[in-house]
Structure 1
Amino acid sequence: MQNARIFRIILSYVLFLFILIACSSSRLSIPVTRPAEINLKGFDKIAIGEIDGRGSRQLTDELTLALFKSKRFEVLDRQHLDAILKEHSLSLSGLVDESTAVEVGKLIGTAALIFGNITEYDYSEELTHRDETNKKTKKTIRKWQRKGTSKVTATLQVVDLATGKIIAISKLEKAQSATKYSDVKRPAKVDKNALFSQCRENIVRKFMREIAPYTERVSVAFETDDKMPELQQGYNMAKIGNWDEAIISFQTAVKKYKNGQLKVDKAYYNLGLGYMYTDRFTEARQNFELAYKRKAEGKYEQAIKKLNRRIEEKRRLKEQM
Structure 2
Amino acid sequence: MVRENLAGSNFKIIDRNHLGRIMTELQLATSDLASPEGQLKLGRLMTGSVMVTGRMDNYEAGSEVTGERQKCKRYEDGEEIVYRCVVYTRNAYSTVRASFSVIDIESSQNLKTKMLACENTAWTQATDAEPAHIDLEALIQQCALQVADDFTKVVAPWTQYERAYFQKDGSLPTLEIGIKYAQAGEWDLAIVNFQRAIDVAASNPKIKVKAAGKAYWNLGLAFEFTGRFDEAAEYVKKAYELSNDGDYLNELDRIRRMKADSARLREQLRDAESAPGYE
Q: TM-score range by the shorter chain?
A: 0.5 to 0.7
Tell me the alpha carbon deviations over residues 38-72 of structure 1, each in whole angstroms, 9 at most, x when there is no partner: xxxxxxxxxxxxxxxxxxxxxxxx22222335x14
C-alpha distance 176-122 of structure 1, shift in aligned 2 (>3 A): same
1:223 and 1:270 in contact (8 A); partners too: no
C-alpha distance 155-146 of structure 1, shift in aligned 2 (>3 A): same
RMSD between aligned alpha carbons? 4.6
2:194 and 2:219 in contact (8 A); partners too: no
Q: 2:158 aligns with which of 196, 211, 214?
A: 214
Matches within 5 A, 1:198-237: 198-217=142-161, 222=166, 224-235=168-179
User: 2:25 is matched by which residue type in structure 1?
Assistant: S
Matches within 5 A, 1:250-261: 261=203
**Aligned residue-pair number:** 231
Q: 1:162 aligns with which of 106, 113, 119?
A: 106
C-alpha distance 110-230 of structure 1, shift in aligned 2 (>3 A): same
State the partner residue of 1:108.
Answer: 46
**Cα distance in structure 2, aligned partners of 1:199 and 1:128:** 24
State the partner residue of 1:197.
Answer: 141
State the partner residue of 1:128.
Answer: 66
What displacement does 1:108 show?
2.3
1:228 and 1:253 in contact (8 A); partners too: no
**Cα distance in structure 2, aligned partners of 1:229 and 1:259:** 10
Q: 1:242 aligns with which of 181, 184, 207?
A: 184
2:51 and 2:104 in contact (8 A); partners too: yes
Tell me the alpha carbon deviations over residues 54-105 of structure 1, each in whole angstroms, 9 at most, x when there is no partner: xxxxxxxx22222335x1423233334555x37x933664122323433333
Consecutive unaligned residues in structure 2, runs of 5 or more = 74-79, 205-211, 237-251
**Cα distance in structure 1, aligned partners of 2:197 and 2:119:** 54
Q: Which has the higher contact order (CA 8 A, sep 6+)?
A: 1
What displacement does 1:190 show?
0.8
State the partner residue of 1:64.
Answer: 3
- Please identify, of 182-191 and 199-208, the stretch whose mean Cα deviation from structure 2 is larger: 199-208
Tell me the TM-score normalized by structure 2: 0.61
**Cα distance in structure 2, aligned partners of 1:122 and 1:66:** 24
Tell me the alpha carbon deviations over residues 105-131 of structure 1, each in whole angstroms, 9 at most, x when there is no partner: 333222433334333222221201223
2:98 and 2:116 in contact (8 A); partners too: yes
State the partner residue of 2:56.
Answer: 118
Percent of aligned pairs with the same residue? 18
- What SS does structure 2 have at the residue aligned with 1:215? coil
Say yes or no: does 1:273 pair with 2:222.
yes
C-alpha distance 92-273 of structure 1, shift in aligned 2 (>3 A): farther
What displacement does 1:133 show?
3.2
What displacement does 1:274 show?
8.3
C-alpha distance 274-234 of structure 1, shift in aligned 2 (>3 A): farther
**Cα distance in structure 2, aligned partners of 1:119 and 1:313:** 27
What displacement does 1:272 show?
9.9
Tell me the TM-score normalized by structure 1: 0.54
C-alpha distance 236-146 of structure 1, shift in aligned 2 (>3 A): farther
